[in-house]
């Protein structure tokens, strides 16, 4: 199964872009290797509004949001997950609008840190955000002629939630599924077993289109999510093959299977391999001399 990434995207910083009936996208000017052209905030509704993912702590983006809100009341601020490119502006936007913040919960990692382990994505975590309203899986929040259903999708982050705009076929997929790239799944912040279960959960839904946290829409979501799943399964098989071939450390495995990747990206690749190994050890398909960490010694299960 081939996975076609769509990198076409016009960020139009500061300008509201209508992407669906009563849904406007506003992209923050925070481009990077991880955020693509920047973070997408979405404004939902026409009279009393909801904002999804206010974005990074950025004055210009806050001003652009306030301009786009144009004096209308904002009842809710939805936050997909607590990474610094998505949640920090919630605090100032809440102070300006009086809106209720809604999320799965405050920041947490997918598992406790191992002794001597550092959280590589720690700098990207927003540990200040605490939602006013905590939503469970399937919970619906009603607004002014819109309602949003929480679809909990841990993996990229432990508290990651997608939100379905009921009755429209739109799923705000945030960083779980994006058209331009695979999402980063790196322990201890994220977990591969959660991520794969969250892909499976979306395969079981019938959303028409995804509006992600970065880049443009995913227009054939079912096919695309199946492709993402296949892509991870191929990577998993390659890692198991390296274990059988005698590689026992993450750097060895990375050197073998990321041969064509810029060595500067090998650190990130190592975290992705660790995510797979943690999952494989958990499923009894690989062995580790200790709780799986970046410097553990790995072997095939049989």
What minimum distance in Å lies between the beta carbon of 6 and Zn ion?
Answer: 17
Taking the CB of residue 302, how many other CB atoms lie within 10 A of it? 7
For Zn ion, give the closer residue by CB, 80 or 101: 80
For Zn ion, give the closer residue by CB, 85 or 126: 85
What minimum distance in Å lies between the beta carbon of 275 and Zn ion?
Answer: 17
What minimum distance in Å lies between the beta carbon of 190 and Zn ion?
Answer: 12
What minimum distance in Å lies between the beta carbon of 114 and Zn ion?
Answer: 25
For Zn ion, give the closer residue by CB, 85 or 207: 85
What minimum distance in Å lies between the beta carbon of 184 and Zn ion?
Answer: 9
- The C-alpha angle 202, 225, 213, rounded to 5 degrees, equals 80
For Zn ion, give the closer residue by CB, 85 or 236: 85
What minimum distance in Å lies between the beta carbon of 39 and Zn ion?
Answer: 6
For Zn ion, give the closer residue by CB, 155 or 213: 213
List of residues contacting Zn ion (CB under 5 A):
85, 175, 213
Give how far the C-alpha of residue 75 lies from the chain's centroid of Cα atoms, to the nearest Å: 24
What minimum distance in Å lies between the beta carbon of 107 and Zn ion?
Answer: 14
Q: Tell me the β-bridge partners of 172.
A: 163
Distance, CA of 107 to CA of 189 (rounded, Å): 9
């Amino acid at each position: 199964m081939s996975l076609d990434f769509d990198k076409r995207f016009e960020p139009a910083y500061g300008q509201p872009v209508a992407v669906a009936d009563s849904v406007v996208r506003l992209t923050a000017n925070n481009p990077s290797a991880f955020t693509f052209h920047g973070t997408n905030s979405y404004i939902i509704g026409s009279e009393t509004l909801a904002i999804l993912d206010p974005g990074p702590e950025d004055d210009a983006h806050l001003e652009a949001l306030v301009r786009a809100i144009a004096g209308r009341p904002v009842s809710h601020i939805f936050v997909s997950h607590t990474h610094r490119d998505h949640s920090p502006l919630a605090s100032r936007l809440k102070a300006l609008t009086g809106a209720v913040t809604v999320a799965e919960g405050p920041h947490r990692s997918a598992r406790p840190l191992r002794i001597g382990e550092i959280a590589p994505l720690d700098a990207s975590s927003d540990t200040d955000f605490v939602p006013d309203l905590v939503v469970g899986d399937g919970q619906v929040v009603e607004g002014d002629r819109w309602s949003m259903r929480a679809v909990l999708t841990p993996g990229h982050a432990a508290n990651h939630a997608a939100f379905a705009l009921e009755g429209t076929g739109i799923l705000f997929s945030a960083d779980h599924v994006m058209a331009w790239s695979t999402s980063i799944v790196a322990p201890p912040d994220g977990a591969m077993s959660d991520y794969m279960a969250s892909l499976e959960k979306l395969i079981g839904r019938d959303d028409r289109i995804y509006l992600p946290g970065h880049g443009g829409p995913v227009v054939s979501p079912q096919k695309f999510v199946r492709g993402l799943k296949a892509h991870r399964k191929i990577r998993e098989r390659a890692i198991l093959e390296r274990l059988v071939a005698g590689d026992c450390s993450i750097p060895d495995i990375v050197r073998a299977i990321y041969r064509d990747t810029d060595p500067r990206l090998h650190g990130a690749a190592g975290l992705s391999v660790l995510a797979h190994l943690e999952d494989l050890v958990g499923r009894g398909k690989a062995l580790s001399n200790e709780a799986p960490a970046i410097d553990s010694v790995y072997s095939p299960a049989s």
